[in-house]
Structure 1
Amino acid sequence: MNKKIISGLLFCFSLLPFWALYILSDFLYFVIYYVFKYRKSIVISNLKNSFPEKSVDEIHQIAKKFFRYFPDIIVEALKMRTITEKQVINRIELLNPEEVYKHFEVGKSVIGVTAHYGNWELGIYRMSLMTEYPRLIIYKPLNNKDFDQIYNSIRTRFGATMVPMKQILRHLVRLKNQRNMSMFVADQTPLHQDSDYFMEFLNQDTLVYTGAERIAQLTESPVVYCHIGRKQKRGHYYCKFTTLVENPSTHQKHEITQIHNKFTEKMIREEPAYWLWTHRRWKRTRTTEK
């Protein structure tokens, strides 16, 4: 489909008020969960492997809760094309922004780490609005260049800069003497050529990215976790910051990677339904051909 047509459709959908989008979400839930059973077997398998201690009934309850939340993320992503600054601030409450500001105040940049949890896309907007210092979103480009350009144009509406993983050093060199915040969505599945480090994550041997650790140690920047949780009120979230590492140079190789991934695991275990379980997170194994 033509890029202009896709962009136009996204714009039209984004003009719908939230109440209408949530009616659409209710319909999508029925279609995804009951009709097409979209990736239902993957979700169930991921949950069983991650929580072997849970009963079959518990696993299915979590899966159903996830599929009820999943369409909300879809329609909220559609709204990003025209959502206002006021709406973003209203829908994601920053519980403790001072946890980030304190590092800026002593002249340090910040390495932010988050996950595909809560509403990470709206989280990009909220982070963009919390400071005037450069905000870099480190991401893995989509294979489809047209979609990649469309999504990035949307994600940068409030001043963030989208930076492909392989270009992060180039951007940080330009900002060498300027405080900034680089945000890593660190729970993605790496290619073997991008990482060779496995660790236990959610009860499974997992290939993980080490980029946040390497950049933190190279720039001597503290590592701050951004946890985006879901509030009881539909479409509303909170963001809580936690400094996981103050001085990266004092940590051994892979220790920082362990710390932030274990923190992600802790968040998921507390409320498992709000992580992206449709993702084939464990498709890479030590025996997979490189």
Structure 2
Amino acid sequence: MAAIKQLWVKFCVSILYLISLLPFWALYLLSDVIYVILFYLVRYRRQVVHNNLVNSFPEKSLAEISTIEKQYYHYLGDLLVETLKMITISEKSLRKRMQPTNPELVNHYFAQGRSIIAAAGHYCNWELAILGFSLLTTEKRVIVYKPLSNAWVNDYVNQVRARYGAIMVAMKQTLRTFVSYRNDLTFSVLVSDQTPVRHEINYVTTFLNQPTPVFLGIEKLAKMIDAVVIFYKIERVKRGYYRFTMVPLIEQPKQTAEHEITEAHVRFLEQIIRDKPQYWLWSHRRWKYKPEEINA
């Protein structure tokens, strides 16, 4: 049975590879179809999206919420096909479609002998941006990830993410890995808006008007290796084109108070989402724990 499942997974991956060979204009036609399927036919997590938006923006009318919902599902289609394109996208195309605004910042900190930790959110096309970050330097580029349940799919996804030299590190291996890199300059990206499992909840903050458990990994790692903390801010310029800016948040992590670093990257992401909410991953069950479960 397991062998049949693996064959099925490999068949599906082969189909996705073929789809990724399509030009962008064709992929966006597919995206328009995906929008209709997800929003109108399948109604993919419509209630989750609606509840998340209503709870996050109590000041908005239902008409405004409805507009954001449709914008989100339109963008979700684009996100899916653009992420598929990562499988085969060329370096030339990647550089054109994911442009850094201040790449000199990397060498600025490296020249000081400082490593860099970038917080990122599930905002705009974070996967394409993570692929683009690999082109910023030839020093060690580390992507910390949460493993997928299917080992074969997990390995394949990581191969795609690491196409341009990034080192993939599972969350549970983070501290051990960075201890081994203690004499090297590193540029690392960690997605900051993951949801901890209940027994790993150590800190709860208010995020988008709701009690929200957050990981403390960025803060702990920054203090351990004395790394500069930045935010990896991604903006959509137009369909298929993005720019990203590395925004310094904390330059002296060892001088910060407890949870100061965590609050800094959480508040920054929150403001980005408020500015253009349609580009965040609203179908994610970010608030699956009730307040009484969090505090239990």
Equivalent runs, 1:94-243 vs 2, <5 Å:
94-231=100-237, 233-243=238-248
User: Is residue 2:288 matched to residue 1:275?
Assistant: no
In 1, Cα distance between equivalents of 2:235 and 2:21: 26
- The alignment of Structure 1 onto Structure 2 pairs a total of residues equal to 289
- Identity across the alignment (%): 44
AA paired with 1:71? G
Cα drift, residue 80 of structure 1: 0.9
What is the CA distance between 1:285 and its match in structure 2? 3.6
**CA contact 1:207–1:285 (8 Å) conserved in 2:** no
Structure 2 equivalent of residue 250 of structure 1? 255
Tell me, what secondary structure is at the counterpart of 2:165? Answer: coil
TM-score normalised according to structure 1 size: 0.97
Contact 2:71 2:278 in 1 (8 A): yes
Partner of 1:92: 98
Structure 1 residue 28: Cα displacement: 0.5
Q: Alignment partner for residue 41 of structure 1, among 47, 51, 59?
A: 47
On the 8 A contact 2:124/2:234 being kept in 1, the answer is yes
Deviations 1:185-214 (A, max 9, x none): 010111123332100000000000110000
- The residue type equivalent to 2:196 in the other structure is P
Task: Answer whether contact 2:106 2:137 (CA < 8 A) is retained.
Answer: no
Secondary structure of the corresponding residue to residue 287 of structure 1: helix
Q: Which runs of 5+ in 2 are unaligned?
A: none
For the 8 Å contact 1:128–1:160, the answer to whether it is kept is yes
Q: 1:261 maps to which residue?
A: 266
Shift of 1:5: 1.6
Amino acid at match of 1:216: A
How far does residue 77 in structure 1 lie from its aligned partner after superposition? Answer: 1.0
Separation (CA, whole Å) in 2 of partners of 1:163 and 1:285: 30
Structure 1 residue 14 displacement after superposition: 1.0
